A and B are shown apart, each in its own frame.
Chain A
Amino acid sequence: MAEVKPRIRLDKKEVKKGDTVDVKTLVSHVMETGLRKDSGGKLIPRMIINTFTCEFNGKFVFGCDLESAVSANPYFEFKFKPIESGALKFTWVDDEGVRIEATETITVT
């Protein structure tokens, strides 16, 4: 699979303690459902991103288990409250075990 660069947007990267950070992520992926047939009537095998996780300084923050009912190019928005500065690490894993990773840093003042 081609190298994919996920798009991540944080509403702010410098926050005060107790503030909420809004995170939006988008990654390119076909999310083939496994239910479609090709022109020859053969089922196209399922090929989806099945897991998304977001960790902050190594600690789990948010994640999801995806099924084939998630649209192509999965988009997620979530919010969290960082209590210290650190790195927000995003990981997407698909059915072939391909991992897409990205990191953002957040400063808490």
Chain B
Amino acid sequence: MLRRLSRRETLAAGAGAFAAGLGLAADPARALNDYADQIKKFTGDQVPVEGRVKLELPELAENGNTVPLSVTLDGPLDEGTYVQEILVLAPANPNARVIRFRFSAASVPEASTRIRLAETQDVIAVAKLSDGTFFQASRQIKVTIGGCGG
């Protein structure tokens, strides 16, 4: 707790550029966000099956402001079935939702982007298939906050 406060002060003192990451200005007492509700909303209360979704993240991100993220769906899909959506959630960010990828029958279930992570956490991905099934996976990533030695 003390460490975080001192970091905030340091940031407030002028390292503004580093504060661009989510949550650096957030309340240090904040617990995990409403990611579980967001998953329920996404799946319509269905419980997703563990696995198949693959999340690629570095093990350690020095700069939480721009963390490369890739999502894919492993394994063959039934004829006519495709991945409709993949929702990415960050339970320790100020807002659970990170990005929702939307795919089509013509696209390959694979996408990459760069995201912001407030702190070390298990990033979650939930995939929705056109046959109505859901898959979920998570992956831990360590974040050295702000990339300036926090």
Residues of A within 8 A of B (CB): 20, 33, 35-37, 39, 56, 59-72, 74-83
Contacts and interface: CB of A to CB of B under 8 A. Distances in A.
Contacts of A59: 104, 106
Given A65-B100, A71-B66, A83 B106 contact: yes
Nearest to A67: B97
B111 A71 contact: no
A62 B112 CA distance: 12
B110 A79 contact: yes
Interface in B24-60: 25-26
Q: Classify the secondary structure of A's interface with B.
A: strand
A82 B112 CA distance: 20
A79 B111 CA distance: 7
B25 A35 contact: yes
A35 B24 CA distance: 9
A61 B104 contact: yes
Contact of B22 (A61, A64, A68): A68
B108 A35 contact: no
A67 B106 contact: no
Nearest to B114: A71
B79 to A, nearest CB: 15
6 contacts: A64-B101, A64-B111, A69-B90, A74-B113, A77-B112, A83-B106
B116 A78 contact: no
Interface string B107-148: 110111111110000000000000000000000000000000
A75 B93 CA distance: 20
A40 to B, nearest CB: 12
A35 B94 contact: yes
